[in-house]
Amino acid sequence: MSENPPMIGKNIQKARMACNLTQNVLSERSGVSKAMLSQIESDKVNPTVATVWKIAKGLGVRIQELLNPEAGIHRVFDVNPNTTETAARLETVENGVLIQVLSPLNMVEDLEIYLLHFPAGASLPSDPHYPGTQEFLTVIKGSVKVQAGENNAVLKAGDFLIYHCDIDHVITNNSSMPAVVHMVVRYTGRR
């Protein structure tokens, strides 16, 4: 990437340190090896645009902020207002379950956040996601049963569950009362 400024490694190091991240943590977040990060930060290698993009994503900054030392680092603070127009587009009903998408669409297949409204007896089966993908569930109201492969658990209001969802999985409200679940899907294996 010959168009990069010669000090891109120092820009990345400065941004990483401003975020209080170790190279290990940035490596996990970006999918760039710690050895490669070390070489980039010490300006021993000239990274590709794709590598700089991964690092920027891992840092939560725009790629331009790493390429241009005068740009400075601008931390993300992105408000997505809940308007009638967006709410209509970001809600769907599947098998009787109202699915509200809370995260912005540009986060799809990276980190997705949902609010799920289960009427009594409703079930939401899902096919396997990408390898390594995890779901984080918090039951807000009522109770649900979660089955992922051979594992299953009955959760009540306040319970929290983390599970790999790269296998067939299903969330079911077996009770006679409605249930509300907050769900985060993290696509850790997809880089």
Per-residue pLDDT tens over the stretch 119-149: 999 999 999 988 889 999 999 999 999 999 9
Under CATH, what is the fold of the domain 8-67? 434 Repressor (Amino-terminal Domain) (1.10.260)
pLDDT of residue 75: 62
pLDDT average, residue stretch 159-185 = 96
pLDDT average, residue stretch 14-27 = 89
> CA 131, CA 45: separation in Å to the nearest integer?
31
CB crowding 137-158: b at 16 or more within 10 Å, else e:
bebeebbbebbbeeeeeebeee
Strands 91-94 and 123-126: unpaired
Instruction: Evaluate whether the domain defined by 84-186 bears CATH number 3.40.250.10.
Output: no
Query: Is pLDDT above 90 for 158?
Result: yes
Q: What percent of the chain has pLDDT over 70?
A: 85
Query: Is pLDDT above 70 for 178?
Result: yes
Reported confidence tier of residue 118, pLDDT bands at 50, 70, 90: very high
> CA 118, CA 181: separation in Å to the nearest integer?
8
Assess contact for 72 and 15: CB atoms under 8 A.
no
What is the residue-averaged pLDDT of the chain? 85
CATH 2.60.120.10 residue ranges for the chain: 84-186
Residue 82: exposure state from Cβ atoms within 10 A (0-12, 13-18, ≥19): exposed
CATH 1.10.260.40 residue ranges for the chain: 8-67
Task: Describe the strand order of the beta sheet including 151-156 as a list of residue ranges.
Answer: 123-126, 169-172, 143-148, 151-156
Query: Is pLDDT above 90 for 70?
Result: no
Query: Is pLDDT above 50 for 190?
Result: no
pLDDT of residue 73: 58
pLDDT average, residue stretch 113-120 = 96
pLDDT average, residue stretch 37-50 = 89
